[in-house]
A = this chain, B = another copy of it.
Amino acid sequence: MSASAESAPARRGRPGYDREQVLAVAVELFNEQGYDATSVADLAQRLGLTKSALYHHFDSKEQLLALALDEALGGLEGVLDAPADADPAERLAAVLRGAVLVLVDRLPYVTLLLRVRGNSDVERAALERRRAFDHRVTMLVTEAQSSGSVRSDVDGPVVTRLVFGMVNSLVEWYRPGGAIDRDRLAHDVVTVALDGMRTR
């Protein structure tokens, strides 16, 4: 870029916020209180602004939700689009590991995504993209079953949902900066998903 700051154009006048910063605070608050239970006034208060100042940055509360969900979905879709080669078992492990890392790196956004129930057009569109992602992962698992690397005594879609249920449940308790770092977490998840908790 040119002069002054990194990527955003230099700020003038009052400090203020840019869209990205407002979005980050909004998502944090939505996750604390729930999207529906969070009013625009709540958000304005946390930012130290008035409601009207916020509406200068965004058209609606729902637009904030849409941008946040896109951030999460884009990350997850990137995990499937990225690699490609190697056998199904290795691809599956890479997707599992990648999903954990995206979840950790975009934790607030993915957390919000996983709580969406389809209560509006924006939410239903996000659920549709999630379903498409799940479908692609399921195909990968059934492929791995055919090649003999994933057990076939449990239905493919069922084992996919179980393992990704485990991954997604990370948003309920994992917090970056704690005792366990992102790579250790990804390793533990892949270990338990592939080989279970029992000793052999």
Quick one: CB contact mask for A159-194 with B, threshold 8 Å, 1 for yes? Answer: 101111110111011000000100001001101111
Cβ–Cβ contact A196 & B188, under 8 A: no
A129 to B170, CA, bound (A): 20
Total copies of the chain: 2
A19: interface (CB < 8 Å): no
Cβ–Cβ contact B162 & A172, under 8 A: no
Chain B residue contacts of A151, Cβ below 8 A? 191, 195, 197-199
A148: interface (CB < 8 Å): yes
Known: A32-B117, A117-B33, A155-B180. A198 touches B162 (CB 8 A): no
Known: A36-B36, A149-B198, A158-B185. 9 other contacts (CB 8 A): A34-B117, A37-B119, A150-B197, A150-B199, A151-B198, A151-B199, A162-B169, A162-B197, A192-B196
